[in-house]
Every structure is written in structure tokens, then in C-alpha cells.
Structure 1
Amino acid sequence: MPDLLIELFSEEIPARMQAKAAADLKARITDGLVEAGLTYAGAAAFATPRRLALRVDDLTARSPDVTEERKGPRVDAPEKAIEGFLRGAGVAREALIERNEKKGRVFYAVIEKPGRPAAEIVAEVLERTIRNFPWPKSMRWGAGSLRWVRPLHAILCILTTEEGSEVVPLEVDGIASGRQTRGHRFMAPDAFDVRGFDDYDAKLKRAHVVLDGAERADAIWQEATNQAFASGLEIVEDKGLLSEVAGLVEWPVVLMGEIDAEFLDLPPEVLQTSMKEHQKFFSVRNPKTARIERFVTVTNIATPDHGATILAGNQKVLSARLADAKFFWENDLRIAKGEKMQPWLDALESVTFHNKLGSVKDKVDRVAALARELAPAVSAEPDLAERAARVAKADLASEMVYEFPELQGLMGRYYSDAAGFAPQVAAACEEHYSPLGPSDDVPTAPVSVAVALADKIDTLTGFWAIDEKPTGSKDPFALRRAALGVIRLVLENGLTLALEPLFVSGLARKDIEDTGIARDLLSFFHDRLKVYLRDQGIRHDVIDACIAMPENDDLALLVKRAKALQAFLETDDGENLVQGFKRANNILAQAEEKDGVEYSFGADPKFAEDPTETALFDALEKAEAKIKPAMEAQDFGAAMGAMADLRAPVDAFFEAVQVNADSDVLRRNRLNLLSTIRQTCLQVADLTRIEG
């Protein structure tokens, strides 16, 4: 069976598009081949700045022959209908066969579709893929109609067997397929023939092209860490930058350069961000001082002077960039030290947060008030929490954050320190945006927690107030992330916090007194909590059973209850008691519907006839004596344990007793006994929501 090799050779493909383009090429080609009846053993796609490549191993040599039966009109149908069927099926009149069916004799066409050679199918699929490739952005060039991310120069397409290789003939917009490719643009620009993937891969390496992006990234990282280690330094890890740089070069050459001494006292984050964003440089850190002292750049060419000229040019450009950063830094420090950031705070009044929610200054005022309100609940000093909230967003007006928005918060910490504010305030400036994602650390310092919670709750209540909620996959204001941030702040800090009053308070600061909005926002939190807990293995029906209980806006209490309930349900007693509860509840619901009354007036032990009834009365009394204080103490484990003790007497009762007895007195008493079972169990969780 032949192996297929495809290469689409073009001008430079942007690094950010390469991985998806390789995946799209693989998916579209292999899907097309399979749909046409071919099978294969394996496939792998590759991307470099100048080429997309695909290998498909053990492709079947031709598609199978196919026989298709197509039902036509009745034999006595109008001639035009029969002729239309013949044209559609592509068969002659004499090739039709007749069959008896319920509605009479019907024509059938038997269509023989012979298999086709793999080369013919590959040509069709590849041409369709090239003409309809899903680039995020594409262009036309010359006089042709083809659109590609950058001008496409050549198509390599060959099928290889043990006997040799053959070119799959096709032409797209004047570009004919062949077996030639080219190596590195400068170091090996001449064309050469290839016979198969192994030959292709080996010849590319000799022509200074590393085909596999992961191999390029590994080579870059290995050489960079070796050079840094040799100087007693270490590379600051950045997987995103590594992936991007690996997509910029076909033959990575790693060079390490110096940073001018005048810039070494800049904050390391400023150096790292400036070099990454403007130059795509890796930062090299001194592990003893944590200062960024050097940089690593990756070039696409080996030079006779071992990169000296390239490094000199890079250092010159870098110095100019860092001179700007130094100017911003020094100017910002003067404002932070001399004026306590006040000009920035004033400037926030002219920065719009949202056209319906006012300026950033308006938001800061609301967050400061809410942080003060929250402070006692998170063990923070109210004055410090309010002060931190008032300066936490001041750095948004600084020159450094204007140039590098990703440094917001972090620069706030530096400027807060420079202004002489308390360390807790500086920490809150940096940490109040956190957590930004599921893997981000959660602040634990009380002032930071107060400001982070206040900031997120203000954002959520604000957008709920103006009815700008997430819909489907759309969440332009990252409100799901904000809600998850609140959930993690509460749970991971073990906070006892009633959210609904905070929502009402946040809405009131926007002149909204509609408690329905607060409840709707709480429902949104419950939905996010379900996702969060589901990832931790808590069943959705268990969460629903706990959300249905009072105080469901206390997330820590809710989660504690859910974990206890799940642990209870994983025991035999728990599982069986739930079945007993459901049986009692079903019998009771049917009787109440039939009789038009509610059986909740308490059963009387004196009407018990069977020993199992007496035992159940005793068990329920003992359970109630344990469950009530346990629930008041929020000891859900103890409450579940007391409920588990009911399993045996409930089972025995249903085994021995007929609830709907002939005697009305016995029947009513037993139904009231079932009501006691229901009321006792529902104190712990809404077991009606448990599935199974």
C-alpha cells in the first residue's frame, strides 16, 4: 500500500496560524480520502514558516467497487418520470429491473460504481482542500483567483511504494504538482527531488530545515538553557513564546546577548515584557538576585561571525526599546512618590468603564465601599481594604501600563510601594484581579481577598443591572470567569459569606432595588458552582439537592453539605434509605392528591399495630434528636449518620406493613408517619432531586 506525501510551499506563514493550519490540512485530507472509500494506517502533519506538510501511511491503492440499488417510479408511471429517473441514475432503460411491491411493480436501477485509483482521489481531495482552506486571513496575488495566507509557490504530492514513487498530477491556479521542494531560503535555496517522507525529511535537514515544530522548540530550549547555565544564569520559562519563536524559524540558531547596565535596575517584569512583546526575546535571569541580566534571541540563519553582527543589531534595537521603558518607569515613579498617585486617580474619572455603568472612577468608588463592607467577613481591616480598593486601579493611568497593559496590577504594586502605602495595599493592587483562570493562584491575604471579591461582585452586579448577561458561548465581559473567581475566593479561603445580601448591596449602589436581579445572579452562581464541583467529582443531582435548601447563597456551607451528602449516598445505607424515602414520598404524594389533604399533622404511636411501626416511631424520634442539633451546628456528617440509622427500620416497616390499610384510622396514621419520614430527611437535603 502506498504512502502519501504532500507539501504546500509558500511565503512565510504567520507563526500563530501554523499549528491550526497543519491540523486543518490533516483533517481535511484524511476526511476526504475516507469519504471517497480509501483507508490509511496513520497520518501526521507538520508546519514551518514556509511550508505545510502531511504524510499519510499505508493508504489503500484504490477505492473498492460499489454496487448501489436505487428505487425508481412504478412501471406504469408517466414516461417523463421514468426518463427523469434514468437520467438521474445514469443507466439505460434496458438496465432497469422490475420488482413487485405493495403498490404495484416498481423499477429499480442497479448502479455499478467501479473503484478508483488512489492518485485520482488524492488529486480531487487536495485540490478541493487548497481552494477552500480555512485561513483566518488570506490574500490573492498576481492574476489568479486562488486565495492563500501568503503566495503559494509549489505543490509537492507523491505516492510512494516499494517499487518507487509517482507524482500525483494536479494543477491549482497554474501551479502544477511535482516532486520538488526547496530548503532554507538563504542557506540552501536550490530545488531538489524527493522520493518519500523519510527522504524528504532527511534532505530538508541537510538543506537546513527542521520540519517538526516540536523538534525545533526542543532544540531552541535545550541550547538556550545550556548557554544560560554556562554563564551561571537561567532562562525564564515561557511556553507561549517558545512555541511562537519555533514558528518563526526553519533552522533555529540560538544567541545570547547582554542588556546594557543602565537598564538592569528596571523591574524584571518590565524587562521581560518589553523584550517578549517587541523583540520575541527570552529573558535570562540571575537566580541569586532574580534580576534579568541577559536575553536570548533565535535567528533563522547561521553566520560566519557566529551571530555577532545579528546580536549587535538586536542589542541596539533593544536599548532603544528599553530606553522608552526606563523613561516611563522613572516618570511614573515620580508621580507615585511625589503625588501618591493622585493624578492617576483623577484621570480615571475620564476613563469609561461602560457607557451604562459610568467611569472607572465610579467603579472604584463602588468597589471601595463594598470592600469596606466585606472586610469584617474576611478578617481584613476596613480602612486598609477601602484604601487598597481606591488605589488598586490607579496604575491604569500610568505610562507603563498604557504601553504594556498586561502589567496592570503588577505595576500598581510597585507604585504603591513607592508611594509608601502599607504592604497589604501594595499586595492588593497586584492580586485583586486574581484569579484570572482555573489554574491561577487565589489571593489569601485578607485585604487582597476583600478587594478582589468587591471588584468581581461589582462587575457582576453592574452587568446584571443593565441586563448584559452571558448568552450561549458569548461572554464579552468575562462574567463567567468573574463568578468562578468569586467561587474560588470564597471556597479556597474557607469564607462564611452570604452572597445575596452582597448582591443586593452592590445593586443598590447602582440605584437598583429589584431583589429579583439578585436572585437571578445567585442562580447564575449556582450554575457556575455546578461546573466547578462537577470537575471535583460531585454529582449534579447532589448539588441540586443542596441548592434547594435554605442558605444556598453561602457557598462554603453549600459545598460542605454537598460533599457530606455524596459521601452518604456512596454507602449502602445511604443508597437504600434514599429508595425508602422516595417510596414513602411517592405513596404520600399519591394519597395527598387523591384525598385532597396534606398529611403533615404528626402520627400517633398509640395507633401502631405492628412492631415495625413502633420501631420506626422510636427511630424517627432518635434521629430527630440528633439531626436537628447537628444541622444547627452545620455538622452535616453527623446529620447524615443519624439519617443512615433510619435505613433498617424504614426497610422493615415497608416489608411488614400495608400503608393503605382498610381502616381509615390506620391509613391516616401511617400516611402521617410517612410524612414524618419525609420531613426528617428533608431537613438534611432535598432528596427528591436525587436520581435513581
Structure 2
Amino acid sequence: MADLLIELFSEEIPARMQARARADLKRLVTDGLVQAGLTYASAGAFSTPRRLTLTVEGLNDHSPTTREERKGPRTDAPEKALDGFLRSTGLTRDQLEARDDKKGQVWFATITKEGRPAADIVAEVLEDAIRNFPWPKSMRWGAGSLRWVRPLHSILCILSDEAGANTVDLTVNGITAGNTTRGHRFMAPDAFTVSNFDDYAAKLRRSRVMLDAEEREAEIRQQCDNLTFARGWTVVPDDALLSEVAGLVEWPVALMGVIEDRFLDLPPEVLQTSMKEHQKFFSTLNPKTGRIEGFITVANIETPDDGATILAGNQRVLAARLSDAAFFYENDLREANSGMTAWADGLNSVTFHNKLGSQSDRVARIAALAREIAPLVGADPNQAEQAARLAKLDLRSAMVGEFPELQGTMGRYYALAAGHDTAIADAARDHYSPLGPSDEVPTAPVSVAVALADKLDTLTGFWAIDEKPTGSKDPFALRRSALGVIRLIMENSVQSGLTNLFERLFAARRVLTRDTDLNENTALISAGVQGVIQPEDTEVALQLLSFLHDRLKVYLRDQGIRHDIIDAVLAQDGNDDLVQVVNRATALNAMLTTTDGQNLTQGLKRASNILTQAEEKDGVEYSFGADHKFAETDEERGLFTALDTAEPAIKTAMKNEDFPAAMTAIAALRAPIDAFFEAVQVNTDSQIVRRNRLNLLSRIREAGRQIADFTRIEG
């Protein structure tokens, strides 16, 4: 057994590419080794800004010899067929063996592949990995043909065992593999040799390089906490920035500075975004004032003056950046104070989509829709409409032009500056949310109305022009919008049927796009233009509802509800009220975790199957007429009594949307149904009794159908 150590040493690898590069290197090399017949005990990949490293432990020193038998054409087959077989096997005719087969004599080839030394396989696999490495972006340099993310300087590739270390014989693009590497670019630039991974990692640390990205993250976090603790401040958490900064340094040295007083009145989001995006600074908060008053920069070097020069330079650059931000903010506030009319006019010249009009057209549609949704979520319709008309205006502001990620956030500040109500300002900030599965969902009624209107306008718009997601392609993030709609509806308990709303929206869009120019949309929608719902409107509305159902399945599966339970509930009427669907599925899921629930399901499915077969055979529907007087057994009479009690209880519970009560009522049928099937033969010789029993089964089926389609439940 041997241990393999690989290092690919280059100019700085972009931080955002390092995690994937580590995984790709490990996958390409280990998969290649296994395919070549080698096995290994464990593997680990590491990265710093200037190197990708892979260690493979417990690697076989030699691949095994293998023998493979391959069946070829018949001995009397045409020569071309035989020649093709010989080419595929690499053998000659005299190396083939004729054997008897059920169709006559057939040629067989025995292919022997001799084992190979691990060093030869490693060289072959690593060269292929380097030449075909899947960088998102790569470059060529010098006169060579190799493409790499940045110029590749050296390759370290050694196999080590108890006898010592051996360099793998490999040359790629003029770079010959060796057993040397270098430490920190400035603090330890000289080359040194290594003999195994432990030796490599220890010498790198002495040369001021932390190999493990997770260790660098932990070190940065600890240094930041130490600096802020000494001052009584705290670091604003930012895991994404921490991961990025750890990919920018090999030897992190945290330095803390103070923001000048003249910038402290800027919104904290502006300070944080400017420092993060431009300087990769961590923001520090003064708990006493509640303001961001400082920053931490992470240098890649220890200096004699303890970083004073580095910190001073960063302070000057930060002041210039924040001066620009202050300039943008002051100009934007002046526009906000004047009513933001210039921004509103500017949205006319911003195209949202060439088939869906400008941002101004879209704002008008969202405003009309928000007004309609407002009563459903307990919002004031006037406030919802006004908030929707303001929500997109900050897209024309200088600050959002500089920092697009602040859209919505700045809208809130500008709405407040313009004198609008807090609820309206909050809606401008919140209407994009939720952006992802972990993003916070708005709960304020006006915010919910505008957020729903924004996402529903996007979905209905792209469905109307037949721009739907296909496979993995979703250029307009429609799946994200659908999940946003679901989370807004569920977490705010917005109970309403969506089908009719979709139909009306599609009808209105059809009228507008057919009879008017897109530039006239604002006035028409504000006037409440409605189209007569046509069959095509219903069809596309149901297609959009089906898309939401698909997203809902993902949402519920993440909460532990099985796909078949979801399908059973979606098969029922009222599946366009997503709150009701989820409540039903949750209650049904809880019931099916019990033994009674599982047995009841089998009974309901058995009743449905027997009934379906009888109806297909007889050509009639058994759906009414079950009569107590034709019951011949106590079990039949017991089932009649149980159904007489359960049916109204289920109906009342479903009407009141008390789904747990409905589950309790139907669960009471478990014992009577079991007893019925144990004692009663449904398809008896007496046709009167048979029809009566089949109609009794119909009552069982209909009792279940009030809740879900139990035939869709597996197991």
C-alpha cells in the first residue's frame, strides 16, 4: 500500500472557484484510479489561493491482472463482422476460440489485461485530470496549449510507503512533476521538498500557509471575535464573506479599523454592502449605539508595524468608497423628497420583457393585483396599491444602480423620506421576499399583498407568453417565484381558490395584448379591465396551478410528507386552495403513521378495487341504494351503523376544515370495515344481496373520497 500526494501550484485561484475545484480534483483522480483497477482507503482535497492539493491513502501499488471473455460472431459470419470483432478486441484470428452455441459455432475472445504499477496509472489519470479540468473559466499562457484557471507553475506528485517517497514520472505542457513546493508568497517564498502528506502539511504551516480552508475560516472568525471583544463590539455575521475571504489568504491576519463619523449616518445596509462588495471587509457593530461603526480587513501577511500601513491604506480606500455612497444617497433623498416622479417616469424606458412591456406596465399590473389581493390578507387596498406603485421606484436610484442587491432595501428608506406610512415603506423592502427556501417570509398584510402580487404577475405573465421552465432551464426564476407564492400563502394562512384568479388574470392579459398597445396597459389595468374568461384562459390557468402543485410537493416533502399522500389530496376538489391542501395532507399523514390509519387505508383501497372491478364487469355504477333491510349478517349491519355515524361527522368536519376531526371520524370505520371483509362475501349468488353490498362499498369509497383519493396511497 502507498499514499499519494498531489499538489497543483498556480497563480491565485478565484475564491469562488476553490470549493468546487477541490471536489472536482478529488472526483476526477479517485474515479480514474478506481476505473483503472486501483483501490484506496481514503482521500481528502484541500485548497489555498495558490494550490489545489489531494491526498489519497492506502492506494494499491499495482492493479490486478484481469481476464475477460467476449462472445463474437458465428464462425460462418461475413468477414467484415469478424474483422470488426477483432478490431474491438485487439486480437488476431488465431487467438480466437470456436465454441458450440445453440445457433452453431461462435467465436470467443479471451482478453487479458496485465496489471500495471500504480505510478503509471497515477501519471495517466492525473494528466487527463489536468488537461480536462472543468474550470468555469480558464486561460492559456505562453506558447503551450494547456488551459488552467491561472498559469500553472508546478506539479507535485509523489507516492510514498515504508521504503520512502518516489516522484511520479509525469510531464504536462512542459511542467515536470517533482517533490517540491513553495510556502507563502512573501513570508516564505523558497522551495522545499516533501516526502508525504504529513511532512507537506507541517512544512507548509512553518512556511506560513494554512492548507485547510475550514481551518482558515475558524482562524479568521477567532481573530475577528478577539478584536471586537477587546473594544466591546460584535462582528456582523456573514458566512458567505467568511468563506470568500478564507479563499483569498493563505495566512490570515485580521486588522480592525474605525469608520469616520461623517459616514455613520448612512443606512447600515449601505455601509455593510459597500465594505463587503468593494473591500471584502467584515462590518462591526457597536451594541451601545446599534450602529455599524467599524470594519475588519483580513491581510495575507504579517508586517513589522503590525499591519498599521495596511490598515491606513484600506482606511483611505474605504473613505473614498463611502464618499461615493454618501453622494448617491444624498442625491436619491432629494429625489425622494420631491415625490420620486422622475424615477416613476424613468420606469417607462426600462423594458421588463419585450412581450410583457416595461417596468412601468408591470408596476401598474402589480398595483391592480395587490389591491385585489389585499382583502384576502387583511391589508388596506389603498395602501397595498400605493405600496405596489412605490416598490419598484428605487430601481432608478443611483444607490441601487451602484449596488443592485440593495433594491427594496433602499426603497424603504426613500419611501419613508417621502413621508409614506411605515407599512407602505416596509412593503417596498419586503416585496421581493422570500427569495429562497431559507429567506424570511413577510407577515405584515400590506407586504404580503404586494409580494404575492409581484410573484403572481411574474408567473401569469410568462405563462401567458408560453415561456415556462423546461428541464433544468429556468432563466426567469419561475420555480423560485412559485415557491415564494407557496411560502407566502402557507405561512400567512391565505385561504383562497387560485384557479379563478388565474383565469381572470389571463383573460385580462389576453384583452390587453390583443386590443391595445402595451404602453396603454397602465390606464387600462387601473380602470379594472377584465376579459371574458375563455376556455384557453382556463387551460393555461390549470397548467399554472399544476406547476404550483409540483413546487408544493417539493415544499411538503421537505417537511416529511410522502409524495403519495400529497397526490391523494391533490386529486380532490378544492386543490387550488393551498392552505386547505396542506392541512389535509398534514392530517392525513399523521393518521397514516398509526396502525389504525394504515389498516383503514387498506380497507378503503380493497373496497374501491372490488367496486371498480364489479362496475367494469357489470357496466353500471354502484353509487346509491344500499339498504339496511337486505343486510344478512351482523357485520353488514355494524358497517351500516358505523357509516351512518361517520358520514355526517366527516362531512361536517370537512366543511369546517377541521381535518384532524375528519381523520378521527373516518378512522372509526377501521374495525367495522375489517369485520365486514372478514365475514362477508360481496359477490354472492343472490343478485339483490350482491348489489346491496356493492352499494355499501360505494358508501365506504365516498366516505374516503371526502378526504382524499386513498387509491393513490402506496403500501
TM-score (norm 1): 0.95
2:558 aligned with 1:535: yes
Hey, what's the Cα distance between the residues in 2 that align with 1:521 and 1:85? 54
The offset of 1:102, in angstroms, is 3.6
The offset of 1:94, in angstroms, is 6.2
After superposition, the Cα gap between the structure-2 partners of 1:400 and 1:161, relative to the gap in structure 1 and judged at 3 Å, is: same
After superposition, the Cα gap between the structure-2 partners of 1:300 and 1:690, relative to the gap in structure 1 and judged at 3 Å, is: same
Report the secondary structure of 1:283's partner residue. strand
- Larger mean CA deviation between 399-408 and 110-119 belongs to 110-119
Hey, what's the Cα distance between the residues in 2 that align with 1:577 and 1:88? 60
Hey, what's the Cα distance between the residues in 2 that align with 1:130 and 1:181? 18
Report the secondary structure of 1:510's partner residue. helix
Report the secondary structure of 1:349's partner residue. helix
2:445 aligned with 1:446: yes
Segments of 5+ residues of structure 2 without an aligned counterpart are: 512-532
Contact 1:187 1:301 in 2 (8 A): yes
2:686 aligned with 1:663: yes
Hey, what's the Cα distance between the residues in 1 that align with 2:364 and 2:114? 76
Contact 1:615 1:649 in 2 (8 A): yes
Per-residue CA distance 1:647-689 (angstroms, 9 max, x = gap) = 2222222233322222222222222222222223322222232
Hey, what's the Cα distance between the residues in 2 that align with 1:633 and 1:521? 28
Hey, what's the Cα distance between the residues in 1 that align with 2:615 and 2:632? 23
- Could you tell me which residue of structure 1 aligns to residue 538 of structure 2? 515
Per-residue CA distance 1:296-334 (angstroms, 9 max, x = gap) = 111222222222222222111111111110000111111
Per-residue CA distance 1:57-98 (angstroms, 9 max, x = gap) = 121111112233344566677888777766765557765555
| 1:421 maps to amino acid | H
Hey, what's the Cα distance between the residues in 2 that align with 1:418 and 1:286? 25
2:416 aligned with 1:393: no
Report the secondary structure of 1:542's partner residue. helix
Contact 1:139 1:147 in 2 (8 A): yes
2:489 aligned with 1:466: no
2:605 aligned with 1:606: no
2:69 aligned with 1:69: yes
Hey, what's the Cα distance between the residues in 2 that align with 1:76 and 1:437? 66
Hey, what's the Cα distance between the residues in 2 that align with 1:525 and 1:121? 51
2:631 aligned with 1:631: no
Hey, what's the Cα distance between the residues in 2 that align with 1:152 and 1:667? 83
| 1:233 maps to amino acid | W
Hey, what's the Cα distance between the residues in 1 that align with 2:538 and 2:680? 48
The offset of 1:614, in angstroms, is 2.4
Segments of 5+ residues of structure 1 without an aligned counterpart are: none
Report the secondary structure of 1:511's partner residue. helix
Per-residue CA distance 1:123-157 (angstroms, 9 max, x = gap) = 11111111111111111111111111111111111
2:564 aligned with 1:565: no
Report the secondary structure of 1:178's partner residue. coil
- Could you tell me which residue of structure 1 aligns to residue 336 of structure 2? 336
Hey, what's the Cα distance between the residues in 2 that align with 1:555 and 1:73? 61
After superposition, the Cα gap between the structure-2 partners of 1:546 and 1:108, relative to the gap in structure 1 and judged at 3 Å, is: closer
The offset of 1:377, in angstroms, is 1.4
* TM alignment of 1:473-622, pairs within 5 A: 473-511=472-510, 513=533, 514-622=537-645
2:447 aligned with 1:424: no
Hey, what's the Cα distance between the residues in 2 that align with 1:541 and 1:468? 29
* TM alignment of 1:170-185, pairs within 5 A: 170-185=170-185
2:425 aligned with 1:409: no
Contact 1:490 1:497 in 2 (8 A): no
After superposition, the Cα gap between the structure-2 partners of 1:72 and 1:432, relative to the gap in structure 1 and judged at 3 Å, is: closer
- Could you tell me which residue of structure 2 aligns to residue 265 of structure 1? 265
The offset of 1:115, in angstroms, is 1.7
Hey, what's the Cα distance between the residues in 1 that align with 2:418 and 2:275? 27
- Could you tell me which residue of structure 2 aligns to residue 255 of structure 1? 255
Contact 1:5 1:55 in 2 (8 A): yes
- Could you tell me which residue of structure 2 aligns to residue 38 of structure 1? 38
- Could you tell me which residue of structure 1 aligns to residue 526 of structure 2? none
- Could you tell me which residue of structure 1 aligns to residue 189 of structure 2? 189
After superposition, the Cα gap between the structure-2 partners of 1:76 and 1:408, relative to the gap in structure 1 and judged at 3 Å, is: closer
- Could you tell me which residue of structure 1 aligns to residue 522 of structure 2? none
Report the secondary structure of 1:278's partner residue. helix
Hey, what's the Cα distance between the residues in 2 that align with 1:129 and 1:675? 65
* TM alignment of 1:63-462, pairs within 5 A: 63-72=63-72, 89=89, 97-337=97-337, 339-462=338-461
Hey, what's the Cα distance between the residues in 1 that align with 2:699 and 2:73? 70
Hey, what's the Cα distance between the residues in 1 that align with 2:603 and 2:60? 60
Report the secondary structure of 2:493's partner residue. coil
Contact 1:542 1:690 in 2 (8 A): yes
Per-residue CA distance 1:262-321 (angstroms, 9 max, x = gap) = 111111110110111111111111122221212111122222222222222211111111
After superposition, the Cα gap between the structure-2 partners of 1:489 and 1:99, relative to the gap in structure 1 and judged at 3 Å, is: same
- Larger mean CA deviation between 284-293 and 320-329 belongs to 284-293
| 1:437 maps to amino acid | G
Hey, what's the Cα distance between the residues in 1 that align with 2:5 and 2:215? 20
Q: Which of 693, 699, 704 is matched with 1:676 structurally?
A: 699
Report the secondary structure of 1:386's partner residue. helix
After superposition, the Cα gap between the structure-2 partners of 1:105 and 1:350, relative to the gap in structure 1 and judged at 3 Å, is: closer
The offset of 1:111, in angstroms, is 4.0
After superposition, the Cα gap between the structure-2 partners of 1:210 and 1:568, relative to the gap in structure 1 and judged at 3 Å, is: closer
Report the secondary structure of 2:294's partner residue. strand
- Could you tell me which residue of structure 2 aligns to residue 640 of structure 1? 663
The offset of 1:409, in angstroms, is 0.7
The offset of 1:569, in angstroms, is 2.4
Report the secondary structure of 1:254's partner residue. strand
Corresponding residue pairs, total: 691
After superposition, the Cα gap between the structure-2 partners of 1:165 and 1:386, relative to the gap in structure 1 and judged at 3 Å, is: same
Hey, what's the Cα distance between the residues in 2 that align with 1:87 and 1:378? 73
Hey, what's the Cα distance between the residues in 2 that align with 1:573 and 1:492? 31
The offset of 1:460, in angstroms, is 1.1
Hey, what's the Cα distance between the residues in 1 that align with 2:281 and 2:177? 38
- Larger mean CA deviation between 452-461 and 64-73 belongs to 64-73
After superposition, the Cα gap between the structure-2 partners of 1:70 and 1:522, relative to the gap in structure 1 and judged at 3 Å, is: closer
2:27 aligned with 1:14: no
The offset of 1:37, in angstroms, is 1.2
| 2:319 maps to amino acid | S
Hey, what's the Cα distance between the residues in 2 that align with 1:80 and 1:648? 72
The offset of 1:618, in angstroms, is 2.1
- Larger mean CA deviation between 294-303 and 422-431 belongs to 294-303
After superposition, the Cα gap between the structure-2 partners of 1:571 and 1:72, relative to the gap in structure 1 and judged at 3 Å, is: closer
Per-residue CA distance 1:385-406 (angstroms, 9 max, x = gap) = 1111111111111110111010
| 2:147 maps to amino acid | R
Report the secondary structure of 2:155's partner residue. strand
Alignment identity in percent?
Answer: 69
Cα RMSD after superposing both structures: 2.1
Hey, what's the Cα distance between the residues in 1 that align with 2:181 and 2:76? 62
The offset of 1:158, in angstroms, is 1.0
| 2:636 maps to amino acid | E
